[in-house]
A and B are shown apart, each in its own frame.
Chain A
Amino acid sequence: MAEEFEPKIVAFLCKWCSSAGSDLAGVSRMEYPPNVVPIQVMCSGSVSPLYVLSAFNKGADGVLVSGCHPGDCHYIKGNFYARRRIALVKRLLDFIGLEPQRFQMSWVSAAEGTKYTQIIKDFVQELKPLGPQTKLRRDL
């Protein structure tokens, strides 16, 4: 039998909240799937849509952008900008026919290790039935 498909998730995590949240999950030895390639960014607001496209282009099966909860942004309002931008990108990717499950955004605070693991668990579960992402993957 073929091995079960293990999706690769590229997660852009803000340094101050979500990345700290994932660290908390790590140091607390919470179990969650090892499918994530985390990329620490200074703020969810610094995630250019180009990063997202590039992640899919380079073979990500799913992309997650995660930042602080509204009001908690280290830079006061970076995550509000992110919210707008990601909403638009999400709709555009949906419009061109990429499965909407493949691109997610979340608010994860530094204290929410559990929430982080749950988000990843859910994400992996949702991606598995979709199989590998080939639509935007580099076909040189």
Chain B
Amino acid sequence: MVNLEDLKKEAKTVLEEGKVKYIIGYEKSANGLMPVPGFIKSPEEVEKLIWTPACVYNLTKFLVDEKRRKSREKKPDERPVGLVVKGCDSRALVVLLQEKFINRDDVFIIGVSCEETGVIDEKKLIKKLKGKKAEKIEFDEKDNFIVTTQEGKVKIAASEVLAERCLECKANSPVIYDVLLGEKAKRSVDNPFQSLEKIESLPERERWKFWKEQLSKCIRCYACRSVCPMCYCDECVADTINFAVTADTTAEEKAQKIKWLEKSPVKSENFVYHLVRAIHLAGRCIDCGECERVCPLDIPIRFLNKKLEKDAKELFDYEAGFDPEQPSLVSSFKDEDPEDFIR
């Protein structure tokens, strides 16, 4: 099991030695169960760090901010940023490395292993506790979590409250790291696409009905885009000013830029947004499931990415986020790629 004190010790050491600028980790929040992303700048602050099954966030997202901030600084601090990553998060890092969005030297990776479990789905936990307010959740030996409520501690089987993504996880311990905490466990998952197949197996009409209902709910808050570590483009087709305008951009360029989708949150425009999002993540999404977690309307967005992940595996034997040296899915090909669908 990951020992929190070890984590703090590692963090403290690198901060004291000045090896890192600061550390992005999980920090206890004043408001109970769920932690918040923490930015630890001094050795004294490492006491704020925590590691619990509620550490859901994929903190690699904050490397995007860090990179932008750094690019604005005249004399940037060139030291790496310390980053706490779970297995899935580390795969996101691999993709960012593969795309050369970041350099390996930019980040000091503190890997934490989820071992046999993973992180919770807060909604599942609330349901499970039937109104009792969880104050704390901890890893336990084996496949259990210990939850503290006002009425005391209860033991819950992890599988009952784990996030869907964790039930289908391909990397429960980090695939890349500078230090690793916890066991390098590899839990075997029978079928990482099990949940997806429920939808795949529906007839076409039902699939359409499902997605029509789901995507019509979207209010385009763009939280799914904002939380995704791969959504780092400066310009996004979804924005009204859909490219990085500078003082040098001519009026013609601005005027001629195509509005690919309208701001109205109606079915057709929501489909363009979500499908483009999914396709842009093909071969890049590592199924951290954050997009789905943050959706206020509970749209199962993850399935769109999952579908592409499955197809990439089936058609091209491609898996994202394990090898920073592999070429990206859509900028590579093999002679034997299937073409039975082509006329």
Contact = CB atoms under 8 A, between A and B. Distances in A.
Q: Do chains A and B touch in the complex (CB under 8 A)?
A: yes
Interface of A: 49-50, 53-54, 57, 70, 77, 80-81, 83-99, 104-107, 119, 122, 135-140
Contacts of B260: 50, 54
User: Chain B at the A interface: mostly helix, strand, loop or mixed?
Assistant: helix
B330 A91 contact: no
A106 B341 CA distance: 8
A139 B266 CA distance: 7
A70 B339 contact: yes
A87 B212 CA distance: 22
A137 B268 contact: yes
- Most chain B beta-carbon contacts within 10 A, residue among A91, A98, A106, A122: A91
B279 A92 contact: yes
A67 to B, nearest CB: 9
Interface string B195-215: 000011000111111111000
B276 A53 contact: yes
B143 interface: no
Given A92-B275, A107-B343, A84 B266 contact: no
B276 A139 contact: no
Given A87-B337, A91-B315, 14 more contacts: A50-B260, A53-B272, A57-B271, A70-B339, A77-B333, A81-B331, A84-B315, A88-B312, A92-B275, A92-B307, A95-B199, A97-B209, A105-B341, A139-B268
Contacts of A135: 208, 212
B333 A83 contact: yes
B247 interface: no
B109 interface: no
Given A50-B260, A97-B207, A105 B268 contact: no
B137 interface: no
Interface string B301-313: 0001001100110
B187 to A, nearest CB: 27
Contacts of A83: 333, 337, 339, 342
A105 B343 contact: yes
A86 B311 CA distance: 12
Contacts of A99: 204
A108 to B, nearest CB: 8
A136 B268 contact: yes
A104 B276 CA distance: 18
A94 B272 CA distance: 15
Nearest to A58: B268
A94 B204 CA distance: 8
Contact of B333 (A81, A98, A106, A137): A81
Contacts of A104: 343
Contacts of A138: 262, 268-269
User: Chain A at the B interface: mostly helix, strand, loop or mixed?
Assistant: helix
Given A92-B275, A135-B208, A57 B261 contact: yes
Contacts of B237: 50
A110 to B, nearest CB: 17
B308 A96 contact: no
Given A88-B311, A136-B271, A49 B337 contact: no
Nearest to B200: A95
A105 B208 CA distance: 22
A12 B276 CA distance: 18
B295 interface: no
24 contacts: A49-B275, A57-B271, A81-B333, A83-B333, A83-B342, A84-B316, A84-B337, A87-B311, A87-B337, A88-B279, A88-B311, A92-B278, A92-B307, A92-B308, A96-B207, A96-B208, A104-B343, A105-B342, A106-B342, A136-B268, A136-B271, A139-B266, A139-B268, A140-B268
Given A92-B275, A107-B343, A97 B211 contact: yes
A99 B107 CA distance: 46
Contacts of A136: 268, 271-272
Given A89-B279, A96-B208, A98-B208, A84 B329 contact: yes
Contacts of A107: 342-343
Contacts of A80: 333, 335, 337
B150 interface: no
